Amino acid sequence: MTSPTAALLVRIAAAFGMTLSTLIARAELEGGGLLREGDQPLWRDPATGYVRRHLSPVSDMPLELIRIQLPAGAKVSFPAASYAFIRQQIWLITGRLEFTEGDIVHRLEPGDCLALGAPSDCVFHAPGPDAADYLVALARR
């Protein structure tokens, strides 16, 4: 059995006008106001080892919280189209994160929070020596 990569799932989600988190949550959850840690869907990108934990309960709220663990040295790229209908902020919990937004490289240290600009191709990179652990807050437009 094979698992799709993060880049492929983002393209599928964008085609349906939803975020990757919503796509995964709809596939695995039924809804409700409380989503216990043990019930939060986890997904691992087979190409990078990137682990995505969907924190938010399924709801009609425009906000979603996602916790990401990106292994040291790993890179994940997403096309601008995947950000066309959302706004997001990245808060780095531990490790280091280099986030490339178009031609701009943001180097985040623990505690830093970045609000993304207009949709553009982007790359998440954990330069090491440790994994990057970060929270992504998505707001649907």
The owner of tokens 């020596």 is: 129
Q: Averaged over 17-22, what is the pLDDT? A: 70
Backbone angles phi, psi at 134, to 5 degrees: -145, 160
Nearest by Cα to 81 from 19, 137, 22, 131 = 19
- Would the pLDDT of 135 be above 80? yes
Which residues, in sequence order, are bridge partners of residue 54? 66
List the chain domain ranges. 6-140
Average pLDDT over residues 20-37: 69
DSSP string, 9-43: HHHHHHHTT--HHHHHHHHH----S---GGGS-EE
**50-62 pLDDT, tens per residue?**
999 999 988 778 8
Determine the CATH number of domain 6-140.
Answer: 2.60.120.10
Cα angle 13, 102, 125 (rounded to 5 degrees) comes to: 75
Q: CA of 23: how far to CAs of 20, 111, 126, in Å?
A: 5, 28, 25
pLDDT at 35 over 70: yes
Determine the pLDDT at residue 114: 98
Compute the mean pLDDT over every residue in the chain, rounded to the nearest whole number. 88
Beta strands in the chain (DSSP E): 42-44, 51-54, 63-70, 75-78, 86-94, 97-101, 104-108, 113-115, 122-125, 132-140
Q: Please tell me whether the overall predicted TM-score, pTM, comes out greater than 0.75 for this model.
A: yes
